[in-house]
Structure 1
């Protein structure tokens, strides 16, 4: 008996060992089909590999597109935030400009205000104590003058009035401070001043023909005063 194997389309079975031309033909055909399948396997593998590579490329392409879209949206949001900040800054500048215009108009209508180097100055028409003078300046939205430069000192001397300025050592004797709390750095004391000790804790401009014109005095003395309103730093 002869054992015949038929793979895939062929069936394996035991058949009598009898010469049979038909069986030999069938066996030959099956053998040819096996060879065709074997020969086709590399092509099938290449096709599958190509399909896998193509799928990976599609996934990578999709990931790149998503990344680019997210970057684009992020840049758009950043641009919106920047644009919003610019608009807010412009709005603030516009408001500051309008506030300055209102202050200028108010000063001009009230009279007795004079502009110099970023500030408006107001000379009082009534003599008062140092504290009363300062309170009056605060009611006007200003404060007793703070002198920051030689040019400002020279500007104030031209009014030719004995006037309180915003300098005192009332908190600590000998430690002179301006009304905004800053320490005295550049001074214009008259010769021999200050000399009042604990009794004289406030400062006035006492003469006009010299740059060195400050004098300490009792804070309760009645004097004219000068207020300063800064309109820019």
Structure 2
């Protein structure tokens, strides 16, 4: 004979526990989605980041503290915001430059870096070609923002975009590991 609870009795303890756990689970899923969508840079500092199955990015002894190592380079993601020129000067003070692309592998790596960050890409004006900070011409696809003075490049939603050089943004410095040994 089964015991039936009246309809006005409180929820059984297991059901209340299940509902609380369900709410906690949904909140955790929401947090994971927000962190992923915002391309939150903190995940880079938590250990290893697998980029293409064989290469890894992490902090290691070859790079200065607070820098990430990937392939033969070290990368610094700033915590402060500066305009493009100030960002380049900050990188130079760290004996580096704003990040520039050497190859397709490095372009894929940039997809894991924080969006809306200054990179070492600029041009004289709208009708001039784009050049990397190391002097090489860019062959990357750059989304043009709708401003006549948008002559500096930034990472933007898994790609590159023009931006106003005077805007304050975080920046990414690049240091070749071979230059550490000289």
Category of TM-score, reference length = shorter chain: 0.5 to 0.7
Superposition TM-score, scaled by structure 2 size: 0.59
Correspondence for 1:203? 153
Normalising by structure 1, what TM-score?
0.47
User: Where do residues 12-161 of structure 1 align in structure 2 (5 Å cutoff)?
Assistant: 105=61, 107-108=63-64, 110-111=65-66, 113-161=67-115
More strand by share: 2
* Contact 1:170–1:202 (CA under 8 A) maintained in structure 2: no
Alignment match of 1:177 (pick from 123, 131, 147): 131
Hey, what's the Cα distance between the residues in 2 that align with 1:231 and 1:221?
30
Paired positions, count: 120
State the partner residue of 2:5.
Answer: none
Structure 1 Cα separation of the partners of residues 93 and 87 of structure 2: 10
Structure possessing the higher radius of gyration over alpha carbons? 1
Q: Tell me which residue corresponds to 1:216.
A: 162
SS of aligned partner of 1:158: coil
1:198 and 1:148 map into 2 onto residues whose CA distance is 28
Partner deviation per Cα, 1:45-72 (whole Å, 9 max, x = no partner) = xxxxxxxxxxxxxxxxxxxxxxxxxxxx
1:181/1:171 Cα in 2 relative to 1: closer, same or farther (>3 Å)? farther
CA pair 125-224 structure 1, distance change in 2 beyond 3 A? same
Unaligned runs of 5+ in 1: 1-103
| Paired residues of 2:147 and 2:164 also in contact (CA < 8 A) | no
Q: Deviations over 1:93-119 (max 9, x none)?
A: xxxxxxxxxxx75844x32x1111211
Structure 2 residue aligned with 1:167: 121
Runs of 4+ in 1 over 4 A off after TM superposition: none
Residue in 2 aligned with 1:187? 140
Q: Any conservation in 2 of the 1:200–1:217 contact (CA below 8 Å)?
A: yes
- Hey, what's the Cα distance between the residues in 2 that align with 1:141 and 1:207? 28
Render the CA deviation track for 1:144-173: whole Å, top value 9, x for unaligned: 011122211221221333211101002784
Deviation at residue 214 of structure 1 after TM alignment: 0.9
Instruction: Write the deviation string for residues 189-231 of structure 1: whole angstroms up to 9, x where unpaired.
Output: 2xxx2244641000111113xxxx1110100001111100012
State whether residues 173 and 197 of structure 1, in contact with CA within 8 Å, keep that contact through their aligned partners in structure 2: no
Give RMSD over aligned pairs: 2.3
Higher share of residues assigned helix? 1
